[in-house]
Amino acid sequence: MIFASVHFVLSHLPNFNSISGVSLAAAVMSLSYSTIAWGASVKKGLQPDVDYTFRATTSSGKVFNFMNALGDVAFAYAGHNVVLEIQATIPSTPEKPSKIPMWKGVVVAYIVVAICYFPVAFVCYYIFGNNVDDNILMSLEKPTWLIVMANAFVVVHVIGSYQIFAMPVFDMLETFLVKQMMFDPSFKLRFITRTTYVALTMFIGICIPFFGGLLGFFGGFAFAPTTYYLPCIMWLILKKPKKFGLSWSLNWFCIVVGVILTIVAPIGGLRTIIMSASDYKFFS
């Protein structure tokens, strides 16, 4: 509720330009808490009871956990439709097409993501094995002041991420209400729409606080299509590359992998949520 209360204010900022500072802070915080996570893990040292075997003891459990893990990876490295809006605002001419700076930006973005996530994944798994928590900061425990600071960084990062994800949704909802439902565009409409959305997401977040399962579910259900195969399908339709050529083959490989992710990751994520909810009491 404390987290949502911040968004009851920030969500009324009008557009992406107005949240650029929040977005920058979120990016810096992401790099900061990731560095704290793997750095503190190295300082803590290899745990005496570290175990690298699967958490699940049954074959079905191992398969479902693997499916959920695929969804986690898909979520972590997924793109976002806001990229299209960013490119649309970049000046583009035949001599200087917008795709050139856009490609550079995407490459840099994924390099930063890799710098954040790869050390955390490899180092923390090496240190804690299969006992590592979904939130690595929960596994560290000490020093308390550093964990508190890292959690504060996480909060700032997630605040910025929420706004980036929510802004296109706000635009879609308001466009629908104005053009299809014939509401008058006004501050009142924006206030009610955005406040209702934040309240709804807050309620869902409180009811379903299963971080790992939700990542896997939405990684496959929501992000795999828009990141891993729909762009490839559009590329094949528009560019019509030579069949069985390098470009054609790579795009079809991404399509196949993306479709598989879309099918199996939500299954694994949903199963993880169900297993986590078996001993969970709402609002307890």
Residue 64 has pLDDT above 80, yes or no: yes
Q: Token pair for residue 261? A: 């992710």
Report pLDDT for 253.
92
102/80 Cα distance (integer angstroms): 14
Q: Which of 110-119, 140-149, 233-242 has the highest mean pLDDT?
A: 233-242
Which range has the worst mean pLDDT, 104-108, 139-143, 168-172?
139-143
- The per-residue pLDDT of the chain, averaged, comes to 82
Does residue 171 sit within a domain? Answer: yes
Does 283 reside within a domain?
Answer: no
Token pair listed for 176 = 């629908």
pLDDT surpasses 70 at 45: yes
33 within a domain of the structure (yes/no)? yes
| Cis bond upstream, residue 143 (ω within 30) | yes
Condensed to tens digits (0 to 9), the pLDDT of residues 164-206 reads 778 878 888 888 899 888 888 888 888 899 999 989 888 877 7
Integer CA distances (angstroms), 83 to 70, 138, 144, 277, 283, in order:
23, 33, 38, 35, 37
Question: What pLDDT, on a 0 to 100 scale, did the predictor assign at position 252?
Answer: 93
Where does the pLDDT of residue 17 fall: very low under 50, low under 70, confident under 90, or very high at 90 and above?
low
Stretch 56-82: mean pLDDT:
79
Is 232 within the bounds of a domain?
yes
Q: List b or e across 198-222, with b for residues whose CB sees 16 or more CB atoms inside 10 angstroms.
A: beebbeeeeebebebbbbbbbbbbb
Which among 13-27, 67-81, 85-99, 119-133 has the top mean pLDDT? 119-133
Range of the domain at 218: 2-277
In a domain? residue 217: yes
pLDDT at residue 269 is higher than 70: yes
Give 14 or 110, the one with higher predicted confidence: 110
Inside any domain, residue 284: no
**Number of domains comprising the chain:** 1
Q: Are 202 and 162 in contact (CB under 8 A)?
A: no
Q: Which residue has the tokens 């299969």?
A: 130
Q: What is the pTM of this model?
A: 0.71
The pLDDT score that the predictor gives to residue 219 is 78
pLDDT digits over 150-174, tens only? 888 888 888 877 887 788 788 888 8
Q: Residue 69, Cα to own-chain centre: how many angstroms?
A: 14
Q: Which residues of 163-182 are buried (b: 16+ CB within 10 A; e: fewer)?
A: beebbeebeebbeebeeeee
Q: Which pair of tokens denotes residue 252?
A: 């079809």
| pLDDT at residue 66 is higher than 90 | no
Tokens 């793109």 appear where? 79
- 115-138 pLDDT, tens digit per residue, is 888 888 888 888 888 888 777 777
The distance from CA 74 to its chain's CA centroid, rounded to whole angstroms, is 8
Percent of the chain, pLDDT > 90? 4
Residue 282, pLDDT score: 64
| Burial tier of 142 (Cβ tally within 10 Å: 0-12, 13-18, 19+) | exposed
Q: Which amino acid is at 114?
A: A
Q: Is residue 145 part of a domain?
A: yes
**Predicted pLDDT at 18:** 67
Instruction: For residue 264, tell me if it sits in a domain.
Output: yes
